[in-house]
Amino acid sequence: MEILSCSIHSLNTCHFRIDDLLKYTTMVRFKTRFILTEISIEDKYERDFFKLNASDIYREIRDAMSQNFGDIGLAQVLLSLQLSLYNRHLKLAVVRCSRDYAQNVITSLSFITSIQNIPITLRAVRLNGSNRTCLNAVRKFYLEKSKKLGIELNRQETENDLKVFDK
């Protein structure tokens, strides 16, 4: 075994084995979370809502993070913040972020009250750890929403509508 020596402030001498150093330099997977978000809007603003696109919603989430957590909080989450999926017909979005800052993003979502002068509310429905479980949650949410609205769907129609979310 090879031993690496170093001096700290020229007072103490420390010795490290190279095997010990390699043990701490292994790569770790970047852990993300997927936040399933429901978008609520009043009926009289429905027409204006369809003019919004994914970049408008992303920009508003980014601004809310900056307002609530400052520039440092925004910088911490900005590396991993992404609007993975957005469907204006189902009125839902999936926000991907780092596992460490998922609660900050959820908190910021609840403070969003309007996007481009359109009154809107965002509600975090579910927090998922993988893309697969998020897709399952989207399917379940879609089916529950269609039952609530009284729409009967067969399996083929449901799968066709949800192809948007498959990668």
Domain ranges of the chain: 32-165
pTM for the structure as a whole:
0.74
User: Tens-of-pLDDT digits for all 167 residues of the chain?
Assistant: 444 444 444 445 555 565 555 555 556 778 899 999 999 998 888 888 888 999 999 999 999 999 999 999 999 999 899 998 888 888 889 999 999 999 999 999 999 999 999 999 999 999 999 988 988 998 888 888 777 777 665 555 556 656 655 55
Specify the pLDDT at position 108: 95
Specify the pLDDT at position 30: 82
CA-based radius of gyration for the chain? 22
Distance CA 45, CA 120 (A): 9
Specify the pLDDT at position 42: 87
Specify the pLDDT at position 151: 67
Specify the pLDDT at position 18: 55
What element of type H or E holds 58?
Answer: helix 54-78
Specify the pLDDT at position 154: 57
Distance CA 162, CA 8 (A): 59
Distance CA 27, CA 23 (A): 10
CATH topology of domain 32-165: Alpha-Beta Plaits (3.30.70)
By the 10 Å C-beta count (0-12 exposed, 13-18 middle, 19+ buried), 21 is classed as exposed
Structure tokens at 55: 């970049």
Helix (H, G, I), strand (E, B) or coil at 153: coil
The label of the residue with tokens 């429901």 reads 38
| C-beta separation of 18 from 4 below 8 A | yes
Structure tokens at 121: 């509310």
